[in-house]
Chain A
Amino acid sequence: MKFAVVFQLNCLIALAFATSSAALGQQAINELNDDSFAAIRDLIVPDDDELAWQKIPWESTLWQAVRKANLEDKPLLIWAMNGHPLGCT
C-alpha cells in the first residue's frame, strides 16, 4: 500500500472531496457513466504529494543498480519489499 500521513495533505484531500463530492452527488458516485467518469477518476488517482516519492529516479532492478553503482563508484541504497515498491506492495 502507498499512503501519506501528512496532516496538511489530509486537509487538502478533505477539501478536495468536499468540493468535488458536492458537485458529483450521490447518484454520480454510485453510477459510473460518461458524466461521472472524470470525478470518479479524480477520487482514485493519487495526487502530486502522494506521488512525490516517485520523483526519485529509482532503478527498478537490483542488478542494473549494482552495475551502475560499480561503474560510478557509489554505495547503493536498496528498498526491498514484499511486492515491488514501484509496483504493488
Chain B
Amino acid sequence: MVADEVHRLQSRDDPECRWFQGIAEHGHYAGRVKPTNTRQGIYMATPNGKFLGSLNSTNADQVLRKMQESLASWEKLSESERLLDKSAVHDPSQISRNENKFPEQGLVLQVFSRDLPRDQHGKQNAEGKRHEPVDWRADAWNQDHAWFKASELDDMLPNEWNVGATRELPNHLLQRIARAHLVDNVRGQTPPYQSKQLQEATWSVEIVAGENEQYHLRYQGLTECIAEGRWSVNGFKDMSNPESRERGVKTALLGFAVYDRTTNRFLEFELIANGTRWGGTQYNGRADDLDAAPIGYYFKLAGDRPSERVAPELFHAYGW
C-alpha cells in the first residue's frame, strides 16, 4: 500500500510518473479535463502497470468492494502478465523527487494545524464550541513536515551557551515557517505567502537550563502574513469568478526544545503558533467562513518512519 502526491505523478516524465499515468488513464478520471484534470483517487494495479480497478471515494464499503474485485482480477493473471521485467525496475535514485533533498543531519518537524474553539462570533471561547455547521469541518485538521538543513541550525540557536542567555534570532527561517507552514490548510490545500506578504516575523531564544552540554531552550515570537488580490474561494463553484479578497494569518509563538551540543542535534522540540486566520482560498474550504477566527499550529520532532520523510507540501516556497 502506497500513498503519494498525484499532481507530480500525473504530469512529470520519469519512470515513476509514466508508470502512474499508464494506470490512471484507465481509471475513474481517465481523460478528464474539467472541472480539473486531477487523477486523484485510489487505484489497484499490478507491478508491471496493469490497471485492476480504481475509484475516488472515502466510503470504506465501496473501497473494499473495489479491492475485492481487483484482487479477483489479479488472481487470474499469470506471472508474466503481472510482474515487471527486470530491465524496467529502475533505480529510485534516478527519479527526481523533493524527498531526495531530505535534510539528513538537519531538523525535521511534524506540523499539525487545526481550528481552535470559538464562539458564535468567531472568537475563541472556553467551552469547546466549534464553528457551525457541525460537520467534518468542525474537527478538521491537517499535517505537514517542516525541514531545516544542518547548516541552518545555528540560526535557531543561542550564540552564548550560558543559562539565561538570550538571542534575537535571524528571521529567515521564521519567514519560511510563516510563509510555508503558518498557512490556513486546516480544511484543504492553500498557497504559500510571498515574501512581500510577510508583515512580521520575529523570534528569540533563551537558555532556561543546561547540564552536560544539553541545553533547555525557550522560544517566543510573532508572525503575520497578509495577502491581497483577486481569487476564488469556493472550489469549482466560483473558479471562473475571482473577486477582490484578503487572507491572512497572525500568530504568537512559544516553544521549548532540548539541544545537545555534543551531537549538534535537537533531542526535543515543541513549538506552538496560536493566533488568528481570516479569508480563504480556492480549495481550503473557507467559502462560508471568511471572518477572522482562531487557529493553532503545533510543531514537534518527526520520527523515523518512511511517512515522516515526505517533503513539505509547499516545498517550492523553500527556495532549496
Is the pair A22, B116 in contact by a Cβ cutoff of 8 Å?
no
Is the pair B128, A26 in contact by a Cβ cutoff of 8 Å?
no
> Given A10-B139, A70-B83, is A75 in contact with B45 using a C-beta cutoff of 8 Å?
yes
- A residues less than 8 Å from B186 (CB atoms): 1
Chain A: which residue is nearest B307 at the CB level? Answer: A86
Is the pair B272, A41 in contact by a Cβ cutoff of 8 Å?
yes
The digit string for B34-54, where 1 denotes a CB below 8 A from any CB of A, is 000011111111111000100
Docked Cα-Cα span, A20 to B144, in Å, equals 26
- B residues less than 8 Å from A85 (CB atoms): 3-4
The digit string for B4-45, where 1 denotes a CB below 8 A from any CB of A, is 111101000001100110011000000000000011111111
Docked Cα-Cα span, A59 to B272, in Å, equals 29
Point out the residue from B38, B42, B124, B296 that lies within 8 Å of A79, measured CB to CB. Answer: B42
- From B151-159, B166-174, B309-317, the one touching the partner chain is B309-317
Docked Cα-Cα span, A24 to B116, in Å, equals 13
Is the pair A70, B84 in contact by a Cβ cutoff of 8 Å?
yes
Whether B250 is near chain A, meaning CB under 8 Å from some CB there, is no
Name the residue in B188, B272, B285 with the highest tally of chain A Cβ atoms < 10 Å from its Cβ.
B272
Size class of the contact patch on chain B: 35 or more
Minimum CB–CB distance from B15 to chain A (whole Å) comes to: 7
Is the pair B38, A60 in contact by a Cβ cutoff of 8 Å?
no
Is the pair B44, A76 in contact by a Cβ cutoff of 8 Å?
yes
The digit string for A1-33, where 1 denotes a CB below 8 A from any CB of B, is 111110000100110111011101110011011
- B residues less than 8 Å from A4 (CB atoms): 136, 139
Is the pair A2, B140 in contact by a Cβ cutoff of 8 Å?
yes
Is the pair A59, B2 in contact by a Cβ cutoff of 8 Å?
yes
> Given A44-B112, A58-B306, is A89 in contact with B142 using a C-beta cutoff of 8 Å?
yes
- From B90-98, B226-234, B237-245, B258-266, the one touching the partner chain is B90-98
Docked Cα-Cα span, A12 to B149, in Å, equals 39
- Count how many chain A residues have C-beta atoms less than 8 Å from C-beta atoms of the other chain: 62
Whether B141 is near chain A, meaning CB under 8 Å from some CB there, is yes
Name the residue in B42, B143, B144, B296 with the highest tally of chain A Cβ atoms < 10 Å from its Cβ.
B143
- B residues less than 8 Å from A30 (CB atoms): 124
Is the pair B7, A1 in contact by a Cβ cutoff of 8 Å?
no
> Given A44-B272, A50-B141, A66-B47, is A80 in contact with B126 using a C-beta cutoff of 8 Å?
no
The digit string for A42-65, where 1 denotes a CB below 8 A from any CB of B, is 011110001000101111111111
Docked Cα-Cα span, A1 to B127, in Å, equals 24
> Given A1-B186, A13-B139, A78-B20, is A73 in contact with B79 using a C-beta cutoff of 8 Å?
yes
Chain B: which residue is nearest A59 at the CB level? Answer: B2
Minimum CB–CB distance from A50 to chain B (whole Å) comes to: 7
Whether B74 is near chain A, meaning CB under 8 Å from some CB there, is yes
Is the pair B4, A84 in contact by a Cβ cutoff of 8 Å?
yes
> Given A44-B296, A58-B2, A83-B313, is A70 in contact with B47 using a C-beta cutoff of 8 Å?
yes
- B residues less than 8 Å from A70 (CB atoms): 47-48, 83-84, 89
Docked Cα-Cα span, A17 to B117, in Å, equals 9
Q: 8 tightest CB-CB pairs across the interface, nearest first?
A: A17-B128, A65-B2, A88-B313, A70-B47, A85-B3, A80-B6, A63-B16, A59-B2
Q: Can you list 23 A-B pairs with a CB-CB distance of less than 8 A? A: A1-B186, A2-B140, A4-B139, A16-B128, A21-B125, A29-B117, A32-B272, A44-B298, A50-B141, A58-B1, A59-B306, A60-B3, A63-B19, A69-B47, A70-B48, A70-B84, A75-B45, A79-B1, A80-B6, A80-B24, A81-B5, A83-B189, A87-B311
Given contacts A73-B47, A77-B67, 15 further A-B contacts (CB under 8 A): A18-B127, A29-B294, A32-B272, A40-B296, A44-B297, A59-B1, A60-B309, A62-B16, A76-B43, A78-B44, A79-B42, A81-B6, A85-B3, A87-B311, A88-B142
